[in-house]
């Protein structure tokens, strides 16, 4: 048995002993001292901050002033951006009417034909118009990947491209039965872009620069249901709209008219978008929220505009300035301290009534990314997870046994134990907070 296997065995063996130790503790501080002593936490870098809003004080801190890679905890900053800048309904598109033509442009709205969101109003709106339809792309598209994203994740469903006028969540779904060459694509426009491949790769793999999808229908492969990001372009979006609406739509690139007095079509309620982002950690929606916010501020689709505005107008009083570069947390350039997360969470708590807020978040043992963790008869964790390889964070709200709501941030970076082992020890700590407050 090698060292890593022996160490994992020891950690798993010690877990019941640790639980017994923690269960015997009578105070929050005593139970949380384990955080500084546990073998699970002794090799990586870990921090925690716990705040009591009723007493208006921090009740526990450990490395709370140190910077960590927050992963999807950065979506809490994105959520706060939406709360401060966007209205109750999502802006779907901007349009003007000139003579017999309707010219429209995107706002970054992620809902059009997105199977994970309520039906957008865009299709019915465009279908009902008698004018000739023209799509106006932005002068400059946002870079399709954020700074610090892993380029080789391009084929993964969690790493779709950021765009001004998304459709189908900027991904294509493929379904197939094991061993059969028939492959069903949605949207169907990609059915002619599939090529069979006999490589060792199982499933679907797209060419990195174009919409050519390779499929190996291996005999030993299970039924396939795979989402793959597509390579975005204005012409692709228009072709999808033509195919869906059965109407002619043209691209207009050199528009010399006045677009200042545009009309705005609104699509879905923002909470359906926020809930999807927060509950299952939807990266695509997070990125699009920043783009929509930037256009509301400047008429330009750029995540940097939204981030700079928030940092300079609503986040100047944070304990430690965050290094914030994207909306989803896919970038390892993001850096945040636990006590800054606490400050942000208190701001969010002031903006959103508790019932609405808890409904948007993942709930321990019930929903989203926390469905299989923090299980209890009465849910007590309402939070946002954040995970990249060797990094895992959990931040938001804990409803204690007394009914008191605590604000916490538990951040872990550079650990080598399996994440499920780390989570089990985090659960023991948070359970003690629940029991002792």
The percentage of residues in the chain with a pLDDT greater than 70, rounded to a whole number, is: 89
The pLDDT of residue 8: 37
pTM score of the predicted model: 0.90
Instruction: Enter the tokens of residue 383.
Output: 């939070």
> If you count DSSP H runs as helices and E runs as strands, how many of each does the chain have, helices first?
11, 17
Q: What is the mean pLDDT of residues 22-26?
A: 41
Task: Kindly tell me if the per-residue pLDDT of 2 is higher than 60.
Answer: no
Contact status, residue 369 vs residue 419, Cβ threshold 8 Å: no
Least confident range of 209-223, 265-279, 337-351, 376-390: 209-223
CB under 8 Å to 374, separation ≥6 — which residues?
Answer: 364, 365, 380, 381, 427, 430
User: 194-196 and 213-216 as β-strands: parallel, antiparallel, unpaired?
Assistant: parallel
Least confident range of 35-39, 229-233, 240-244, 284-288: 35-39
Residue 140 has what DSSP assignment? S
Per-residue pLDDT band at 39 (split at 50, 70, 90): confident
Task: Kindly tell me if the per-residue pLDDT of 238 is higher than 90.
Answer: yes
Instruction: State the chain's mean pLDDT as an integer.
Output: 90
Residue closest to 233 by CA, chosen among 151, 166, 172: 166
Residue closest to 35 by CA, chosen among 43, 23, 46, 26: 46
CATH number of the structural domain 3-70+335-435: 3.40.710.10
Instruction: Enter the tokens of residue 39.
Output: 């073998």
Task: Kindly tell me if the per-residue pLDDT of 15 is higher than 70.
Answer: no
Q: What is the mean pLDDT of residues 274-287?
A: 98
Task: Kindly tell me if the per-residue pLDDT of 181 is higher than 80.
Answer: no
Residue 65 has what DSSP assignment? T
Structure-model confidence comparison of residues 274 and 299, the more confident one:
274
The pLDDT of residue 101: 95
pLDDT, tens digit (0-9, with 9 covering 90-100), for 116-171? 999 999 999 999 999 999 999 998 889 999 999 999 999 999 999 999 999 999 99
Per-residue pLDDT band at 25 (split at 50, 70, 90): very low
Whole-angstrom Cα distance, residue 265 to residue 244?
19
pLDDT, tens digit (0-9, with 9 covering 90-100), for 405-424? 999 999 999 999 999 999 99
Task: Kindly tell me if the per-residue pLDDT of 37 is higher than 90.
Answer: no
Per-residue pLDDT band at 179 (split at 50, 70, 90): low
Task: Kindly tell me if the per-residue pLDDT of 392 is higher than 90.
Answer: yes
Per-residue pLDDT band at 9 (split at 50, 70, 90): very low
Q: What is the mean pLDDT of residues 211-237?
A: 87
Segments making up each domain of the chain, as ranges: 3-70+335-435, 91-268
The pLDDT of residue 260: 85
């Amino acid at each position: 048995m090698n060292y890593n296997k022996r160490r994992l065995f020891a950690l798993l063996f010690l877990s019941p002993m640790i639980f017994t130790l923690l269960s015997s503790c009578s105070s929050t501080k005593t139970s949380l001292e384990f955080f500084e002593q546990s073998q699970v936490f002794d090799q990586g870098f870990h921090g925690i901050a716990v705040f009591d809003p009723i007493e208006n004080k921090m009740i526990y801190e450990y490395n709370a002033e140190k910077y960590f890679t927050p992963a999807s905890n950065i979506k809490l900053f994105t959520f706060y951006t939406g709360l401060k800048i966007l209205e109750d309904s999502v802006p779907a598109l901007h349009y003007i009417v000139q003579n017999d033509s309707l010219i429209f442009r995107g706002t970054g709205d992620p809902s059009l034909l997105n199977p994970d969101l309520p039906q957008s109003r865009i299709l019915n709106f465009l279908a009902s118009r008698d004018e000739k339809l023209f799509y106006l792309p932005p002068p400059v598209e946002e870079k399709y990947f954020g700074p610090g994203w892993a380029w080789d994740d391009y084929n993964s469903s969690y790493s779709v491209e950021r765009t001004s006028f998304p459709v189908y969540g900027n991904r294509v779904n493929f379904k197939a039965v094991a061993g059969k060459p028939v492959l069903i694509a949605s949207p169907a426009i990609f059915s002619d872009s599939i090529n069979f491949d006999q490589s060792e790769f199982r499933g679907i793999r797209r060419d990195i620069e174009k919409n050519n999808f390779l499929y190996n229908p291996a005999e030993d492969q299970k039924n396939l249901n795979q989402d793959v990001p597509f390579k975005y372009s204005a012409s692709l979006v228009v072709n999808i709209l033509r195919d869906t609406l059965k109407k002619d739509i043209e691209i207009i690139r050199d528009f010399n008219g006045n677009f200042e007095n545009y009309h705005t079509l609104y699509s879905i309620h923002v909470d359906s978008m926020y809930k999807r982002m927060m509950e299952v950690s939807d990266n695509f929606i997070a990125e699009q929220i920043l783009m929509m916010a930037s256009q509301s501020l400047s008429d330009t689709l750029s995540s940097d505009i939204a981030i700079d505005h928030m940092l300079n107008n609503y986040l100047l009083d944070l304990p430690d300035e965050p290094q914030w570069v994207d909306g989803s947390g896919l970038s390892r350039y993001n850096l945040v301290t636990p006590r800054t997360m606490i400050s942000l969470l208190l701001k969010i708590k002031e903006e959103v009534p508790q019932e609405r807020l808890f409904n948007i978040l993942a709930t321990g043992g019930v929903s989203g990314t926390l469905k299989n963790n923090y299980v209890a008869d009465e849910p007590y964790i309402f939070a946002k997870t954040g995970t990249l390889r060797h990094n895992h964070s959990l931040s938001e709200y804990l409803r204690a046994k007394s009914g008191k709501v605590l604000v916490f941030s538990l951040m872990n970076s550079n650990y080598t134990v399996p994440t499920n082992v780390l989570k089990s020890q985090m659960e023991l700590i948070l359970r003690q907070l629940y029991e002792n407050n």
